[in-house]
Amino acid sequence: MNLDLMLQDLEELVVCESFSADHKAVARSAAVVAEQGARRLGTPPETIVIDGVSHLRWTFGRPRVLLVGHHDTVWPIGSLREHPWSVRDGVARGPGVFDMKAGLVQAFHALAALPSPEGVCLLITGDEELGSPTSRALIEDAARACSAAFVLEASADGGALKTGRKGISAYELTVLGKAAHAGLEPHAGANAAVELAHQILALSMMGDGATTVTPTLVSAGSTMNTVPALASVAVDVRVPTVEEQKRVDDLVRALAPRVAGTRLRVSGGPNRPPLEEASSAGLFELARRIADGLGLPPLRGVAVGGASDGNITAGVGCPTLDGLGAVGGGAHAAHEHALVAEIPGRTRLLAELIRAVLA
């Protein structure tokens, strides 16, 4: 692997900012990623624009292996001024360098190292950081046709691969009450805030071991001297299994009001299924053997709470291994960084994984 060339490619991607919410910036980034991929792979991608969001797809023959990545980042335009691209003391820095532009560079160079990319689909989306609302169908359709999915998200701590990811459900619970003057006739109202307090306590008791149910954003009331007629809470749910996701969903939808005169309204639901460790076990064992053969440090696998597009590929039944991208840390934070010395080895690992599955 030509590390100098890989760093040039990484710089090219990092200095092209790609804030998820800015469709024009994402389109500019897609053009840069497409041009770089065409240089390395010898062919341009399909550019697929859905609701203004730009996605890229390379398809070589009848795909059996899916590589998944994203080129959007959480960093607003202008972040480069405070967090410029740099490589010092073996550490590359800049917005999105770890999450996950280094993973894209590794994917291009891994495919270029193969005798042929025949049998591979490379899908690079533009809205992963928003939950993949426009790319989800693309990911699902590609994964259904493949026998393995490799996700180029950054590694876990110490370079560990991500062999499990919790599923995510997101809800908004709204309480509809009745307004009244808080001083003259509070008894004439139905206090939505008090009802919401009961419901928040009920929600917080739904967690079970690895499952977390977390009330987050809360709002209630209109003025200091008015019984609140409206209150709401957003709820973040993380689950390790499909069964747990259904259990919590049933409980949320079964909530009932306790304060007379109030009504409940629930919106939302499961967003991403879990990537269960059973889905990754075979591929992780293959990766471990390949790493040993390449003389790389022993691989570890860990389950994490955050979600990725690997949840989506696993959710349609495609065996999935995640965290094959950069080694480093600081995703979404000011200290985001990738360890330069790890890039060639991870690229070789990916190339040999693809080769082994295709064989």
pLDDT in tens, 86-123: 999 999 999 999 999 999 999 999 999 999 999 999 99
Q: State the Cα–Cα distance between residues 220 and 194, nearest whole angstrom.
A: 10
SS3 content of the chain, % helix, strand, coil (to 5): 40, 30, 35
Longest Cα–Cα distance of the chain, Å, equals: 81
User: Which residues on neighbouring strands pair with residue 173, listed in sequence order?
Assistant: 233, 266
Contact criterion met (CB below 8 Å) for 125 and 329 = no
Please name the residue that has the structure tokens 């710089």: 11
Q: State the Cα–Cα distance between residues 209 and 302, nearest whole angstrom.
A: 17
How high is the mean pLDDT of the chain?
97
Domains of the chain: 3-165+274-358 (3.40.630.10), 167-272 (3.30.70.360)
pTM as predicted: 0.90
Q: State the Cα–Cα distance between residues 314 and 300, nearest whole angstrom.
A: 20
SS3 labels along 171-195: EEEEEECECCECCCCHHHCECHHHH
Distances (CA, A) of 149 to 62, 100, 122, 326: 14, 17, 10, 17
User: Which residues on neighbouring strands pair with residue 93, listed in sequence order?
Assistant: 86, 337
What is the side-by-side strand order in the sheet with 230-239? 212-220, 230-239, 167-176, 263-272
- Asked whether the predicted pLDDT for residue 187 surpasses 90, the reply is yes
* Number of other CB atoms surrounding residue 78 within 10 Å: 10
- Asked whether the predicted pLDDT for residue 254 surpasses 90, the reply is yes
Q: What pLDDT digit, counting tens, does each position of 138-186 carry?
A: 999 999 999 999 999 999 999 999 999 999 999 999 999 999 999 999 9
Cis amide prior to 224 (ω within 30 degrees): no
Q: State the Cα–Cα distance between residues 267 and 338, nearest whole angstrom.
A: 39
Buried b (16+ CB within 10 A) or exposed e, 214-245: ebeeeebbeeeeebbbbbbbebebbbbbeebb
* Number of other CB atoms surrounding residue 141 within 10 Å: 12
- Asked whether the predicted pLDDT for residue 52 surpasses 90, the reply is yes
